[in-house]
Amino acid sequence: MRVEGRSMRTIWREGEAVAIIDQTRLPHELVTRRLQSSEEVAEAIRTMRVRGAPLIGAAAAYGMALAAARDAARETLEKAAATLVASRPTAVNLRWAVTRVMRAILAVEEKERPALAMREAGEIVEEDVAINRAIGEHGMGLIAAVSREKGRPVEILTHCNAGWLATVDWGTALAPVYRAFDEGIAVHVWVAETRPRNQGAHLTAWELAEHGVPHTLVVDSAAGHLMREGLVDLAIVGTDRTTAEGDVANKIGTYMKALAARDNGVPFYVAAPSPSIDWELGSGALIPIERRDPREVTHIEGWSEEGRRLVVRLSPERCPAVNYAFDVTPARLVTGFITERGVSAASRAGLLALFPEHRESATREERC
């Protein structure tokens, strides 16, 4: 997508290393960073320099390639894979990407592994871009239909950052918005700030502004009010893990928006690229929910008027806090999934109609 008028992705190869946009520095500074080992990639995922389910998967794939470039022995690769998979628990793309690279490279001789790992990672990256572009096409149809019906800008609510910064390019939930905007369909995005880390305020607001898409920032708890006032036509969010039954783990606060959408008759769509579907899980209750440092709740980070990064405490000293990073929205509250193969009902049957090749794994007994 565009940054200061130039095309940019979130992750790219730079010689023997991999480069990323350090998302902990946005929106105040655009800083890139070179990662030279799988440990550095794992650190970047853990600390959320790279974040968002698809981008975490792409970064982890490159992490495996960097590990193989150093030492392609099976034990070393297994250790690197375990460290990467443990770096964040909820987004299933991480396990999916690491497993895919491991499966490919363990099937060949050691000396062939470094080149093959890099090739496989490169393919995962390009596939992510293609998947998101296709999600954009399918989702644009939904926006265009509302635009035709209402004859005014389409009001879209989103949560967290499921834009291009959460992927290699285009985004998932925001891909339809960018495609519609680029086609000349008038849109306006309500950006929920997304406490505690404020990915909406920091990242979504930044990337929409860079692309010139009209948007307004609101606090998370404003979503219900906006819907009651008739100010939201569609909600579109991302997903970190969608089960075969259609339950959705996404950034904490997604569930409450889905409840408000249902009560107000607002269509609630989840943009779901296939690598974020966990075909081995049925119930969303089995999805591991990441718990992060309570300091992200008791403190807040911002930028002073003098242009300095500041972290300030919000709560009384030593105030107990808990920091659930994700919640699960049950399939019954989801109007549909926007996937790279089209829009499906939020159910096992709906997903399998688009992805029949998963029929077998989706009906196997659930993993614990």
Interacting residues toward ligand MRU by CB under 6 A: 51-54, 91, 160, 162, 166-167, 172, 199, 238-240, 250-251, 325
- Helix, strand or coil for residue 170? coil
Q: How many CB atoms are located within 10 Å of the residue 42 CB? A: 23
Nearest residue to 344 via CA among 60, 142, 67 = 142
Catalytic residue among 128, 220, 240, 327: 240
Nearest approach in angstroms of CB 267 to ligand MRU is: 18
Nearest residue to ligand MRU, scored by beta-carbon proximity = 238
User: For the chain, first and last CA: distance in Å?
Assistant: 39
CA distance 162 to 159: 8
Whether the bond into 27 is cis, omega within 30 of 0: yes
71 is catalytic: no
For 149-183, give one letter per residue: b (16+ CB within 10 A) or e.
eeeeebbbbbbbbbbbbbbbbbbbbbbbbbbbbee
Nearest approach in angstroms of CB 325 to ligand MRU is: 6
Quote the tokens at residue 141: 């149809």
Percent composition of the chain: helix, strand, coil (DSSP 3-state, to 5): 45, 20, 35
CA distance 245 to 81: 28
The residues that are catalytic are 240
